[in-house]
């Protein structure tokens, strides 16, 4: 099922961890509008990057999957309002994050995570927070802005 012209429900639900652990990671009906909104945001991302293909690494996460990967207890992924992705044909992940930070305006969080980018949306007023995540001691640390 297509959520938008270039993004499907299946790619937003796919998780090797969920498959391995037997976790149902289907987007519930009550979150489908959120998933469509996230996919439409990803269409804007795709357009900003010259309509190059986007590789989604994580879209929706059921609470069970989020717990299994030790995700944030308030993760927007659990509301189908976040996407982790790369655009390998655009440039480096950092260059991609730089462009998106300068062009996009309707997001809650844009996080450069080293090997992927996270975009989170909000239900209320977006914070437009730009962060860089680092993992120096195996734990996640956030820094304000883009840090290369």
- pLDDT at 123 (0 to 100): 86
Confidence check: pLDDT of 90 > 90? yes
Q: How far apart are the first and last CA of the chain?
A: 37
Which pTM does this prediction carry? 0.93
- pLDDT at 38 (0 to 100): 97
| Cα 4 to Cα 134: distance, rounded to the nearest angstrom | 32
Tell me the average pLDDT across 60-87. Answer: 96
């Amino acid at each position: 099922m297509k959520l938008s012209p270039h993004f499907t429900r299946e790619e937003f639900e796919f998780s090797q961890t969920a498959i391995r652990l037997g976790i149902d990671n289907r987007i519930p009906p009550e979150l489908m509008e959120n998933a469509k909104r996230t996919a439409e945001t990803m269409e804007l991302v795709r357009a900003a990057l010259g309509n190059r293909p986007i590789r989604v690494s994580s879209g929706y996460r059921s609470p069970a999957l989020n717990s299994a990967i030790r995700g944030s207890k308030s993760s927007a992924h659990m509301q189908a309002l976040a996407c982790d992705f790369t655009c390998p044909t655009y440039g480096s992940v950092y260059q991609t994050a730089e462009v998106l930070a300068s062009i996009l305006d309707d997001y809650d969080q844009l996080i450069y995570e080293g090997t992927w980018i996270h975009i989170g949306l909000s239900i209320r007023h977006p914070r437009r927070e730009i962060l860089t995540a680092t993992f120096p001691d195996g734990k996640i640390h956030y820094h304000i802005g883009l840090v290369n």
